[in-house]
Chain A
Amino acid sequence: MDHYEQRERLDAYVLGALDAAEAAAVAAHLETCESCRAEVAAGRRVAEGLPAALEVASPLRVHPSVKRRVLAAVQGPPRPRHFRPQLWPVAAAVALLMFIGSTVYAVHLQIEQQDLALTVRTETLNKLGATLSQGDQLRVLEVLDSNATTKRSLRSVDPQLPAFHDSYGKLWTRSDDADVVVMVNKLPQPLPGQRYELYLTSAGSTIDAGALKLDADGFAMLLFRADRSGPSYKRAVVTLGSTPVLQWAG
């Protein structure tokens, strides 16, 4: 995909109207193209001005009681950050499906960003047993613990978005094997009909590596075999719907 093709997509990009793989490709292009970044900045000014345009055009006014209500809400007791009441049924359904599905690769781990590998080594054996077969547990650990393993960190695409501020992910590949392990953590639960997908880019082509099914803590693991031993990826993007939310670029 060349510069001119990406440039054609910039307007849709700033409007949030690209499909996930397209948005990921544009984001990658922007990292190296100053003129397109300038174009995006101009486009964002338009996009961010659209609510102001609607405000100008709208005959509606805010009732004064709304202000009292909002101020009362912000001064009220703090609420759980990631689980609001309306999301509990969704989270419960996700947790139940994960428990039932023996092939689901999501596992329940508490992972700290700084010592992720150590945490995984010490806690994984106990917790993987609930959802992964013994064979898959060993495959995961062999990838995580191998001396031939490369680890990549996925960060929030837009750290300004509160929902994804604390979210992160890890991608492990081995230079001597085709198994690939991906973990994500602290992701907000998807709404019905949405799901997290992992896209991996190598040698100019992007593949959909699979869905990431969260547990109740916003954690998921994906284990799959690449098409060859020692896969080399240039980019990894996790999307929600059509929106990239986590990424790593080499």
Chain B
Amino acid sequence: MSGIAAGDIAAFTQLYDRYARRIHAWCAHVLGVGRAEDAMQEIFLRLWQHAGQFDRERGSFTTWFTAIARHYLVHVLRRESMLRRVAMATEVAAVLEHGSASTPGPEETLAQREDGAALAGAMKLLPDEQRQVLVLAYFGGLSQSQIAEELALPLGTVKKRIRLGMEKLRGALAPQSSPQRAPGAGRAAR
């Protein structure tokens, strides 16, 4: 990241290759394919312009970059009607339920591949109503109260669905959560 902050375009290109597909999928499914490229450009431009603000001691690069991307996308979404946001979430939930069996690109780190694949598998297994509220919250940027209002559900029901859904997703990551994995433990499966 220090290289990118200093204007190293080769270092930036490496990060682009690593995260482009993820950011593109996020933008395309949330905003629509037609707006995905503009959004991608904006997000990567923010990465380039603010690379000097990244502080490794405060968290990982993925955490930092994910925050940048979500902040931008949620702000864009807030210009949309609530109807459009709920429709978007329905589409994202459908992708997560019926999605392809593809795997992230070879540039991904082992841990990132494992988390993404494990969560994708767990999301498929969630009951529709739990998947829906999680997607509305994270990808749609809706609060629990807004979700309850839009889905005409009691607030307590929304809270319970979020809690149950998150519990299952945490469980999907739990076996991989040990900080020190055996070297090459996941490579044998590649």
Residues of chain A whose beta carbon lies under 8 Å from any beta carbon of chain B: 8, 11-12, 14-19, 42-63, 66-67, 69-71, 73-75, 78, 81, 158-163, 165, 191-194, 241-242
Contact = CB atoms under 8 A, between A and B. Distances in A.
Contacts of B41: 66, 69-70, 73
Contacts of B25: 51, 54-55, 58, 60
Given A59-B100, A242-B143, A46 B46 contact: no
Q: Which 5 A-B pairs have the closest CB atoms?
A: A57-B99, A52-B116, A17-B137, A162-B50, A53-B119
B78 A66 contact: no
17 contacts: A19-B145, A44-B63, A48-B62, A51-B25, A51-B70, A52-B120, A55-B22, A55-B116, A56-B102, A60-B29, A70-B16, A71-B12, A78-B49, A161-B68, A162-B68, A191-B78, A194-B78
A240 to B, nearest CB: 9
Contacts of B167: 11
Contacts of A165: 50, 53
A161 B120 contact: no
B26 A74 contact: no
B99 A191 contact: no
Contact of B29 (A18, A54, A75, A192): A54
B22 A51 contact: yes
Contacts of B28: 58, 60
Contact of A60 (B16, B24, B103, B139): B24
B88 interface: no
A69 B39 CA distance: 12
B40 interface: yes
Interface in B74-120: 74-75, 78-79, 92, 95-96, 98-100, 102-104, 112, 115-120
B143 A67 contact: no
A54 B169 contact: no
A184 B92 CA distance: 37
B68 A16 contact: no
B84 to A, nearest CB: 13
Given A15-B134, A15-B138, A16-B141, A60 B79 contact: no
B35 interface: no
Q: Could you say which interface size class chain B belongs to?
A: 35 or more
A43 B162 contact: no
A61 B69 CA distance: 18
Contacts of A53: 96, 116, 119-120, 122-123
A71 B99 contact: no
B29 A8 contact: no
Contacts of B103: 56
B53 A162 contact: yes
B170 A46 contact: yes
A159 B44 CA distance: 18
Q: Most chain-B Cβ atoms within 10 A of its Cβ — which of A15, A57, A67, A193?
A: A57
A45 B78 contact: no
B147 A17 contact: yes
Given A45-B115, A242-B143, A71 B67 contact: no
A84 to B, nearest CB: 8
A59 B22 contact: no
B2 interface: no
A57 B159 contact: no
Given A58-B99, A162-B49, A16 B78 contact: no
Contacts of A14: 166
Given A15-B134, A81-B49, A62 B120 contact: no
A54 B22 CA distance: 8
Contact of B116 (A49, A71, A194): A49
Contacts of A71: 9, 12-13, 16
A12 B159 contact: yes
A63 B37 CA distance: 9
A162 B52 CA distance: 10
B190 interface: no
A77 to B, nearest CB: 12
Contacts of B170: 42-43, 45-46
Interface in B107-160: 112, 115-120, 122-124, 134, 137-139, 141-145, 147, 159
